[in-house]
Amino acid sequence: MANEQVEQIDVQAEASKMIDHVSSLNMDQIINDYLIPYGTKILLAIAIFVFGKWIARIISKLLGKAAFASTKDDMLQSFVKSISYFLLLLIVVIAALSQLGINTSSLVALIGAAGLAIGLSLQNSLQNFAAGVMLLVFKPFRKGDLIETGGMTGVVESMGLLVLELRTGDNKTVLIPNGKVFSDSIVNNSDNPTRRIDFTFDISYDSNLKDAKDIIARILAENNLVLKDPEPVIAVGALAANSVQLVVRPWVKTPDYWAAYWGITESVKLEFDKAGIEIPFNQMALHLPEKTNLSVNK
């Protein structure tokens, strides 16, 4: 009880001294002792933050351009620009706080501890970040490539720190976590300059096999999108239960894949119809027994 009274008296004494000191100051002393020194520090801190932020933006853009110049990769440029700007801005904030007299060493330690805690709570995000770095290093695809990954098919629009952005054929935007992309298989349909189209055409056993092959060969020869080298393959793939299966393997340039696929499919159907070559389809035949007269003995 006595100790509490002594502490209360000390606090009152300190407060009284402060009040007396402030009341004894005139306006010139307040300006010279407080406003000018602290105001200068605040203005310098603001100037450091504004100027440093501007410099950070310029440096991050230069680093992004340097990354693009060396790799010609738009996604790497965006990634380097984002991460470098974040790190430089963090340095600027620490410098501005240091100008205000804040102990930045303890602040750095606090940021480190906070980063560790955040890292433990955001393991999936860190995994996606690391996967994004690995994807940028190995470059299994580039912006504009048509890929299949994560159960989705689409054109690569961009890759951020955590997610990959795809645009599907019906113009939907799909975001896939980088970790899922890196751990899943990736099929890049745009990586090579040419692609092979795999067709399977069924004809009935009653149709003329040689005529069917000649019609397909003529269609491929007249199609400007089909490459002459490698030469297309036309062969009997299987003798199925209800049809003869013809496998057709022409090669086209990658951008011409779907145009050639649709055009050849339509042409084969029209020419088969003209030549009377039947394309069989599943049918069910029902055989009903003839009705018999039943006599009932009475």
CATH code at 194-275: 3.30.70.100
Q: What residues does each domain of the chain span?
A: 23-129, 141-188, 194-275
Highest mean pLDDT pick, 5-19, 112-126, 232-246: 232-246
- Evaluate if residue 55 carries a pLDDT over 50: yes
pLDDT in the model for residue 76: 65
Kindly state the percentage of the chain with pLDDT values over 70: 70
pLDDT band at residue 90 under the 50/70/90 scheme: confident
Domain 141-188 matching CATH 3.40.50.300: the answer reads no
- Evaluate if residue 283 carries a pLDDT over 70: no
pLDDT band at residue 89 under the 50/70/90 scheme: confident
- What is the arithmetic mean of pLDDT over 28-35? 58
Q: What backbone torsions phi and psi does residue 283 show, to the nearest 5 degrees?
A: -135, 155
pLDDT band at residue 264 under the 50/70/90 scheme: very high
pLDDT in the model for residue 54: 87
CATH code at 23-129: 1.10.287.1260
- What is the arithmetic mean of pLDDT over 99-121? 61
- What is the arithmetic mean of pLDDT over 255-259? 94
pLDDT in the model for residue 298: 47
- Evaluate if residue 191 carries a pLDDT over 50: yes
- What is the arithmetic mean of pLDDT over 248-256? 96
Quick count: other Cβ atoms within 10 Å of Cβ 131? 19
Close Cβ partners of 190 (under 8 Å, ≥ 6 residues apart): 141, 144, 145, 146, 147, 254
pLDDT in the model for residue 56: 82
Lowest mean pLDDT among 25-39, 42-56, 61-75, 281-295: 25-39
- Evaluate if residue 294 carries a pLDDT over 60: no
pTM: 0.58
